[in-house]
Amino acid sequence: MTYQELKAEENQYVMNTYGRFPIALDHGEGATLWDVEGKRYIDLTSGIGVNCLGYNNEKIVSALTEQARKLMHVSNLFTTEPMVKVAKTLVERTHLEGKVFFANSGAEANEGAIKLARKYSFDKYGEGRFKIVTLVNSFHGRTVTTLKATGQDRFHNYFFPFTEGFDYAEANDFDSLRKKCDDMTCAVMMELIQGEGGVLPLDREFVKQVEALCREKDLLLIIDEVQTGVGRTGSLFCFQQYGVKPDVVTMAKGLGGGAPIGAVLAAKSCCDVLTPGTHATTFGGTPLVCAAANAVLDTVADGAFLASVREKGEYLKNGILALGSPAIHGVRGMGLMLGVIVDEGKHTAFANKLIEKGVLALTAGKNAVRLLPPLTISKEEMDEALTIMKEVF
């Protein structure tokens, strides 16, 4: 089918909840994609930070096909090797000495973390200590609870009543956060680089202060690494570059390299809080997606691979700055999570123009063209993207 034919049927049969770009993608190889009409694109999006090893990655494809032949799914009433292996790798490679709960998405991972924090506090202090402080301009998901956890008013609409017990502190303003943490607070939850909010990294000093406050008041420090995790910023998890020790780390997007998987990684301090009957999901940790996650982690949790992500990030960032375009006011971010800063409100027009010219890009916040390329992107692919960016910017 052509794009026009597909679009007509999409309009008829699929709920209109996304402002989709006007192309229908068909297949990919590395960081290159082709649409149904055969037009070629350099992908600087990885879905939205999902396809971290690119398209048609041999390791993921063979892990998935082999596992599909063996066993795609069993309920969580049985043990499977792929699940145990993902958990073991995550625990060992983060040195958190904890345990993992598997979910299916970022929002669900955050829901799990919120439940864990509330129960941690309930078990220890009883009722009334339920509040979770998040940051203004954050993004934590689309369920009724994680929408409320998201510190942006525009998400707190239509779906009333939202879950109670969230309050928002200003990012990088420790006084603001300390004031929000009262006797009813059980946790602080934050992204280290606000992704949807505009690719805004938190200050190191602020994060350290928040960690110290959490220790002082016995609050759980929940780091939402749904976007920053699994190698995206040049370390397996972003918190490792901030030098802090979270109580809970949530992840999803890149973890399955395209297979839908989310996870809550709880450190020793709280990894036994969720007990039989208190949290569950049918699909979580199913062997098919865990086979993909093992292929991803085998590749990404490697010093040389992570160094290559940092190098590519520098190359792309410097390449963008070297375009010398007056439309570009800077590049923010870490590793291969970058925001090209343009005039406020112009980011969408730039993303559309890039796509028209053959580079897939995202937007974030009010002024960022957000780039989340596959971590395996080649130098040639980056150079091709830079040539097109020069024209567009």
Ligand X SMILES: *Cc1c(COP(=O)(O)O)cnc(C)c1O
Question: Which residues would be at the binding site for ligand X (CB under 6 A)?
Answer: 105-107, 110, 139-141, 191, 195-196, 224, 226-227, 252-253
CB of 393 to ligand X, least distance (A): 25
Q: In whole angstroms, what is the distance from residue 287 CA to residue 279 CA? A: 19
Give the largest CA-CA distance in the chain: 61
Sign of CA dihedral 36, 385, 51, 348: negative
CA quadruple 58, 262, 287, 277: dihedral, nearest 10: 180
Residue with tokens 């032949």: 69
**Which residue carries 């969720």 as its tokens?**
274
Nearest to 252 by CA among 27, 31, 48, 29: 48
Please tell me the distance from the alpha carbon of residue 278 to that of residue 300, in angstroms, as a whole number: 32
Residue 259 or residue 388: which is nearer to ligand X going by CB?
A: 259
Does residue 338 contact residue 200 with C-beta atoms inside 8 Å? no
Comparison of 57 and 145: residue with beta carbon closer to ligand X: 145
Task: Identify whether the C-beta of residue 290 lies closer than 8 Å to the C-beta of residue 85.
Answer: yes
**Both structure tokens of 156:** 């707190």
Identify the burial level of 325 via C-beta atoms within 10 angstroms of its C-beta, where 0-12 means exposed, 13-18 middle and 19 or more buried.
middle
Give me the least distance between CB of 155 and ligand X, in Å please.
12
Q: Each residue of 105-120: b (16+ CB within 10 Å) or e?
A: bbbbbbbbbbbbbbbb
DSSP letters spanning 336-386:
TEEEEE-STT-HHHHHHHHHHHTEE-EEETTTEEEE---TT--HHHHHHHH
d(CA 376, CA 378): 6
> Cβ contacts of residue 157 below 8 Å, gap of 6+?
none
Nearer to ligand X, 296 or 386 (CB): 296
